[in-house]
Structure 1
Amino acid sequence: MEVQSQLSKLEGVNASAWKVAKSSDGTPVAAPVHPYLDNPSDPIIAWRKGMKIEVEIAVKLRQDLPVRTDRAYDRDDVEAAISEAYLGAELVWSGISEGGSISFLAFLADRLGNMGYVRGPALPLAVLEPGSTFPLRLLLNNQVAFDAAGQHPTKDALTWLCDYANNPFRPAAALRAGSIVTTGSLCGAIEITDPGDVSINLGEQVLLNFAVRSL
């Protein structure tokens, strides 16, 4: 985490957006998301060979979730700290060719392979209900890459956020009010084989469009 922090400072990362995940041994971890694009009109993310996309739900915290030593956060505590939910897309690419398979700690230092995040339209908070599924359609360069029911891998979008909130070794400054936290992919990780246009449709009306370009 210290190496991750130093690398982020060198790159000028503004840690207002985070992704939460689990290490290979089940430890809750997090990494700052960079670049973070907050619902811009014509977002563009740099494309890299081997880049993948994960369609996710992101949440915004209305209040701090400080490290607790007296008792654990339960799910209701964490849900009560959330003010908004959004459709989002994370772009994943690691400078480590083996990703996390050789050294998870090195992968963590590399911000868990994060290469950018595009925050899209707001969603009703009901999308956070455990067991929720969503009609999800992902187009890459007008070709269908995913068209099925989207669901968080644990069947609860708040699982990894709750676990991380209860990690006593996380930085004291993590999970502050106003932070955006991504929750995990609804469709797995899908490779973007070529630069081009990305279009995401969640349900009947929620759309997110952006481009990945060779910059």
Structure 2
Amino acid sequence: MTSVTETDLSAAADLLLDARRTGAWLTELPESARPGSLDEAYAIQDLLVRRKGGAAGWKVGAPSPTAEPIRGALASDTIHESPARLPATSFNVIGAEAELVYRFASPLPLRDRPYDLEEVLAAVGSVHAAIEIADTRYKVWKSVDQFSQIADQTSHGVLVVGTGKTDWRGIEPVNEPVTLWVDDRREFETIGGNSAGDPRRMLLWLANVGSRGQGGIKAGDRVTSGSTCGTIFVKAPCRLTAEFPGVGKAVLDIV
């Protein structure tokens, strides 16, 4: 496949941004503007997020404990504090995910020497319960190729950050219980549950690899580290509650 030109990368970012603003969902990206590689997908994503004011956070995940992570840069307009109340009209699909969010107190700017895990963890100020809503700017969920999904902020809708802890070092994410409630119904319950394994691996990769397109991790960035429950599609109106007993709780009302 021929490489996408800078002009076409820009056109793809504009199409995805317009779809998010207007709710006029895309069947797919035009062939000329469709990313044919991971680098092109990230380039589109980075252009889109810069046009929304730059990255204020990240989503990172992996399908297994040994797989290469995938990231999505998040702009501030889709990051909310719990309890949050959002209109259903904001979404195309509503895929609920219970996640742990790491808030960075110190920046990790780009540098030639890789960060080690202890340096990355030392920059984290707190860990929080969170809800991410997975969504898409394409008409049908996962109807397009993976690179097109990654260009679309890796299918990010919104992130709701709940209560958390600053004394978080004793939290072992793989042993942390989690429950996702839909209204008064216990929809999902497990221990650990993240397909990536220990999400701290995601933070190390983000610091050294994933954040390079946005200049590194900034103080205040929120990093959501992968779903513990898969993606559970729900209908509005509903109240979503993600509870991590050792960490905190996040609540989102979709009306």
Q: 1:209 to 1:83 in 2, by over 3 A?
A: same
Q: Distance in 1 between matches of 2:49 and 2:132?
A: 17
1:141 CA displacement = 2.4
Q: Distance in 1 between matches of 2:124 and 2:133?
A: 24
Q: Which residue of 2 aligns with 1:145?
A: 187
Q: 1:118 to 1:172 in 2, by over 3 A?
A: closer
1:187 CA displacement = 1.8
1:22 CA displacement = 4.7
Normalization by structure 2: what TM-score?
Answer: 0.70
Question: Looking at CA atoms only, which structure, 1 or 2, has the larger radius of gyration?
Answer: 2
Q: Please tell me the residue identity of whatever aligns with 1:53.
A: A
Which of these residues, 14, 18, 26, is aligned with residue 58 of structure 2? 18
- The higher-RCO structure (CA 8 Å, 6+ apart) is 1
Q: Please tell me the residue identity of whatever aligns with 2:235.
A: T
- More helix per residue: 1 or 2? 2
1:145-169 CA-to-partner distances (Å, cap 9, x unmatched) read: 1123233323312112211222188
5+ long unaligned stretches in structure 2: 1-41
1:144 CA displacement = 1.9
3-state SS of 1:32 partner = strand
Which of these residues, 36, 42, 67, is aligned with residue 79 of structure 2? 36
Q: 1:208 to 1:23 in 2, by over 3 A?
A: closer
3-state SS of 1:125 partner = coil
3-state SS of 2:60 partner = strand
1:85-111 CA-to-partner distances (Å, cap 9, x unmatched) read: 111110001123353x74222112211
Aligned length: 208
1:11-51 CA-to-partner distances (Å, cap 9, x unmatched) read: x3552122123599836433215511023x44325364642
Q: Distance in 2 between matches of 1:165 and 1:65?
A: 7
Q: Distance in 1 between matches of 2:70 and 2:110?
A: 13
- More strand per residue: 1 or 2? 1
1:56-82 CA-to-partner distances (Å, cap 9, x unmatched) read: 111111222122323x22221211111
Q: Distance in 2 between matches of 1:27 and 1:147?
A: 24
Q: Percent identity, aligned pairs only?
A: 22
- 2:119 pairs with 1:86: no
Give the aligned CA root-mean-square deviation in angstroms: 2.9
Q: 1:173 to 1:204 in 2, by over 3 A?
A: closer
Q: Distance in 2 between matches of 1:128 and 1:206?
A: 12
1:94-137 CA-to-partner distances (Å, cap 9, x unmatched) read: 123353x74222112211111101100013413653x6322222
Q: Distance in 1 between matches of 2:230 and 2:182?
A: 15
Q: 1:30 to 1:170 in 2, by over 3 A?
A: farther
Q: Distance in 1 between matches of 2:236 and 2:61?
A: 27
